[in-house]
């Protein structure tokens, strides 16, 4: 089996994971809900507006303050919405899974991550002479 075959196998395993299934369902629910998807679109539009405004030589400070207030209001509405909260939480859970997979791959190829201890980071995937990295 080639490295790319293994990568495809890993991709399929990730796509079939409970974390990805949860994320997909959360995205679908948000997309189906006009109120929430409208708020997300409005939030993104206001963010683009403020970025464009801040790039100008003569910044409209009053306009920027108003846009910032709008952004904060929309953000508060989104964060108080159960569908949006589930989307954020499911994204976090899937990102954690991807991070764990990446750390495992790095440990197996000997890449040292700053927060890891030397024993864990020195794992090359061969456990015959392992010093206890829990691989």
Q: Can you give the residue ranges of every domain in the chain? A: 3-121
Question: CA 53 from chain center: how many Å?
Answer: 27
Mean pLDDT of 70-79: 97
Mean pLDDT of 63-79: 96
Residues 6-57: tens digit of each pLDDT: 999 999 999 999 999 999 999 999 999 999 999 999 999 999 999 999 898 8
CATH code for the part of the protein at 3-121: 1.20.1500.10
What pLDDT was estimated at residue 59?
A: 87
Could you give the C-alpha distances from 79 to 73, 74, 85, 121, in angstroms and in order? 10, 9, 6, 38
What pLDDT was estimated at residue 133?
A: 54
Phi/psi of residue 132, nearest 5 degrees: 100, 45
pLDDT band at 112 (very low <50, low <70, confident <90, very high): confident
Higher-scoring residue by pLDDT: 86, 127: 86
Model confidence, pTM: 0.73
The answer to whether the CB of 60 falls within 8 A of the CB of 53 is yes
Summary mean pLDDT of the chain: 88
């Amino acid at each position: 089996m080639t490295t790319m075959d293994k990568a495809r196998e890993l991709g399929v395993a990730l796509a079939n994971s409970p974390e990805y299934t949860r994320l997909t369902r959360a995205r679908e629910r948000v997309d189906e809900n006009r109120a929430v998807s409208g708020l997300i679109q409005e939030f993104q539009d206001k963010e683009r507006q403020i970025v464009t405004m801040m790039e100008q030589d003569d910044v409209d400070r009053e306009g920027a303050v108003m846009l910032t207030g709008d952004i904060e209001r929309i953000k508060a509405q989104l964060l108080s919405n159960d569908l949006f909260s589930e989307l954020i939480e499911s994204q976090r859970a899937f990102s954690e899974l991807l991070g764990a997979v990446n750390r495992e791959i790095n440990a197996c190829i000997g890449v040292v991550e700053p927060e890891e201890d030397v024993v864990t980071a020195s794992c090359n995937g061969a456990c015959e002479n392992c010093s206890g990295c829990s691989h």
